[in-house]
Structure formats: structure tokens, C-alpha cells
Amino acid sequence: MKKSRLFLVFFLAFFILIFNKNVYGVGLDLPEPSRYFYVYDEANVIDNYLEDYIINTNEQLYSKTGAQIVVVTLNSLDGNSEQEIAVQLFRKWGIGSKEKNNGVLMLIAPNEKRLWIEIGYGLEGALPDGKVGEIRDKYIFPYFKENDYNTGILKGFDAILSVVLDEYNIESLNSSDSQIDGNYGYDENYDVDIGVNPIIVLIGIIIFLVIDFRFFGGMLTRMLMRSSSRGGFSGRSGGRGGRNRGGGGSSGGGGAGGGW
Amino acid sequence: MKKGLLILAIILVIVIAFGSSIAGSYNNLVKLDEEASAKWAQINNQLQRRADLIPNLVNTVKGYASHEEEVLVGITEARSRLETAKTPGEYAEANAQLTTALERLNVVVEAYPELKANENFIRLQDELAGTENRIAVARMDYNEAAKIYNNKVRSFPTNIIAGIFGFEQKEYFEVSEQAKDVPQVNF
């Protein structure tokens, strides 16, 4: 009886998941966000230093304003328009905070030479399409035309960042700023502070393991292990403790882009 | 006496069960209707925004390419059709007509490098492109919401409640097959 009910719950959850995907995905095969969320470099054009810079800057930005500026490169658009992929990805990942919808997604398809910068609803005032187009023409495309993706992404990212900071009346993000020490920007659900209460954490883990292996045959544990090894710590310096996520923001197609 | 009470109780339970299920269906319909209407408002906003950008664009183009009267008239006409549209289908058709007119403009513009390099013109083109993309997204959102609502209105037993309270199906924001058959003028 118990087992069958459990099965039913999983069955339903499975269907809800499938259903949701159909509503939003509309046949697009969209990637899951990377472990550090702010950079997803499928086309492998972003250098490590730039990746670190974008992630660090975003963690500070998110903790202060809830805004998120995500950079994504894709190997292929699979025949879809860059705008279509951008808006679906934006909504799937939930970029920017849910209340403020203040996310930005910079989507780059180097092979197709297409770019789209999607602006969340909440930043459309600060970053109207014309302004985004200006950033594209001044800071991004001149470098992309020379195949210098790192400079284009960096300059474009900084230009967008400065507009966002202006919007929230912040002069600059500074890593020595006391507010953003430690893991402030991480998602609290993942940020287990082992330093304070190791016993409680240990008990929690044991309870989790017991429940998991007793009722789910260890499925959850295996899932967790797999997802953490997939994200991987390899190649990243500093040993990050947490995992970043989207804040649940949405967008409606605002922004600018095009081919170069 | 006891029997009568029991029957009364059963009837009461049935009435309450029916009543609450009708109320539930009704409320659900209202909710879906509101959602679809809100998404329609999004399309409407963006269409209005697109229409508002047109006079500015036409003026800018006139400064450089005053000979292209025909193209500009086409754009202005499409814009005024957008202003007089009433149903989602009419809006969609006027919008498609405006898209065609703007595409013609883009072809013509190639002959005017100065216009193409004009800062104001580039920004207007970006604003238009962003607005068009917003319309595409809003259209997807609306049609999705309208589909969910329409399914509810049509399926049993909600269709009975929809009939009683006058919930009608929503028209999709799309160009009808008839309008698609209108021959396009070639250049």
C-alpha cells in the first residue's frame, strides 16, 4: 500500500515535469545551467579568467541587487532564431530575481555568428532596445568581427553591468566590500555552513541517508553525487563552496542582437 | 421521521457537492479568462509600441530617401490598419502587413548608405526589432493561455457551465488562412 502510493506520487511528479516542459520548451532542447550559473560556455570561447570574473562579479551583484547577467555560448542554434532560444533559456533558468525580473542574458552562437542580449522585464527601462543595440555596436561586434570573443564579451558585460549598477545607484562592486565577504551570494539551500554546527549537519546527513536508502533505495543520494560530479570542481580555482541559481526572473523578448 | 432526515441530509450533501463543483469550475474559468486577457494586453501594448515607433521611422527615412514615397505610404497604411483593428485576427493581419512593409523598407534602405549609418535610424531599427521580438513572445504566451482556456470552455462538463455563464472561446493571435492567400505585390 505504502509503496504503491509512493509510486503514484513519483508517477504524478514525473508527468507534471513532462507537462511543464511541454508548456515552456515548445520543442526546444535547452541546456541546464552550469554549476556556477553565470557562465555556460558550450562553444568554449571564454577564457578561465573571464569566466571567474563574470561569476565573481555576478555573485556580488546578485547579493546586492538581485540582478543577474548570464553569458551563454552555444555550438549551434539548431535552426532556431537566437531570440527564440534566448527568451526560452531566460525563462527556464529564471535569470534575475523573481520580484524584480532584473536579469540579462547574453547569448552568443559563434559558429552561426549570431548574438542576442535578452533583457528582463524589470531592466527594460534602464536598458531599452536602442541602448542595448548601442552597446552591441560599440563594445561587442567590433571585437567579435576580429574573432576576439573574450574582449567583446568582457566589454559588453561591463557596459551592461555599469548600466545596471547605475539603475541601483551603486558606484562600483568591490570585492573588499564588507557586505559581500564569504558566501553571501550563494543560494542558502546549498550553502551548508559546516563551521558553525557540524553535529547538526552530520545528523541531518544521516537522517537524509537513512530516509533515502530506506524509502528511495538511495536514489536521491546517487542523483546528488552525479550532479555534483557533473558540475565538477576541476579547473576552477579557489574551491567554491556553493552553487548558484537563477532567481526566478522572466523576460518578454526585449533586447537587441543580430549577426556580425 | 429518521428516514426523512437521512434523505434530506443526502440531498443536502449532493447539492453542496454539485454547488461547490460548479463554483469551482466557474472560478477556474474566470481565472483562465483573466490570464488570457492579461496576456492579450501584453500583445496589445507591444503592437501599440510598434505603431508609435513608425512615424519617427518614416520621418527619419524621409530625410534621406524622399523618393521612396511608395514604400513609406505602405508603412503608414499598415500602421493605420493596426490602429483600427478590433479582433485578434485583425490585429494579427495588420501586424503581418506592417512586417511586410518594413521588410520592403529594409530592401530599399540598402541603396542609402548615409541613412544606414544614421545613428537615429539604427536605434529605431533596434527598437523595432526588439518590439517585434516582444510581440512574438507575447503572441506565444497569449496563444498558449487562450488554448488552455478554450480547451476548458469546450470540454465536458465545463462546457455546460461556460454555456450558462456566457464564456466564449477566444480567437488566437494568428493570421487566418484567408489572409495568407492574398497575393503579395512583387518588386
- Residue matched to cell numbers 544606414: B116
CB-based contact, A256 to chain B, within 8 Å: yes
Q: Write down the pLDDT at residue A192.
A: 42
pLDDT above 80 for B106: yes
Q: Name beta bridge partners: A120.
A: A251
Interface test with A, best of B119, B137, B144 (most A CBs within 10 A): B137
pTM above 0.90, yes or no: no
- Among B126, B134, B140, the residue with its CB nearest the CB of A133 is B126
Pairing of strands A251-259, A114-120: antiparallel
Residues 72-111 of A with CB under 8 A from B: 83-84, 87
Q: Write down the pLDDT at residue A222.
A: 78
Contact A251/A99 with Cβ under 8 angstroms? no
Residue type, B58: V
> What is the rounded average pLDDT of the residues B122-150?
93
Q: Write down the pLDDT at residue A4.
A: 65
B33-59 burial, b if ≥16 CB within 10 A, otherwise e?
Answer: bebbeebbebbbebbeebbebbeebbe
CA within 13 Å, CB half, A8: 5
CA dihedral A218, A208, A21, A246 (to 10 degrees): -130
Q: By 3-state DSSP, what share of chain B in percent is helix, strand and coil, each rounded to 5?
A: 80, 0, 20
- Among A132, A137, A254, the residue with its CB nearest the CB of B134 is A254
Do residue A254 and residue B135 have CB atoms under 8 angstroms apart? Answer: no
- Residue matched to cell numbers 501584453: B42
Rg over alpha carbons for chain B, rounded to the nearest Å, is 25
Q: Which residue has the higher pLDDT, B21 or A116?
A: A116
> What is the rounded average pLDDT of the residues B135-160?
91
Q: Is B9 exposed, middle or buried (0-12, 13-18, 19+ CB in 10 A)?
A: exposed
Query: pLDDT tens digits for B157-174?
Result: 888 889 888 999 999 998
Q: Could you give phi then psi for residue B14, rounded to 5 degrees?
A: -65, -45
Q: Write down the pLDDT at residue A187.
A: 45
Residue among A54, A256, A53, A252 nearest A141 (CA): A256
pLDDT band of B181, cuts 50, 70, 90: low
Cα A113 to Cα A259: distance, rounded to the nearest angstrom? 6
ipTM greater than 0.85 = no
- 3-class secondary-structure state, position B61: helix
Do residue A253 and residue B144 have CB atoms under 8 angstroms apart? Answer: no
Count Cβ atoms below 10 Å from residue B32 Cβ, excluding itself: 21
Rg over alpha carbons for chain A, rounded to the nearest Å, is 20
Q: Write down the pLDDT at residue B156.
A: 83
pLDDT tens track, chain A, 260 positions = 556 666 665 555 555 454 444 444 456 789 999 989 999 999 999 999 999 999 999 999 999 999 999 999 999 999 999 999 999 999 999 999 999 999 999 999 999 999 999 999 999 999 999 999 999 999 999 999 999 999 999 999 999 999 999 999 998 886 544 343 444 344 444 444 445 567 777 888 888 888 888 777 777 777 777 665 554 444 444 445 568 899 999 999 999 999 99
CB-based contact, A142 to chain B, within 8 Å: no
Contact A114/A259 with Cβ under 8 angstroms? yes
Cell of A205: 546527513
Mean pLDDT taken over chain B = 88
Q: Write down the pLDDT at residue A203.
A: 82
Chain B residue whose CA is closest to A85: B137
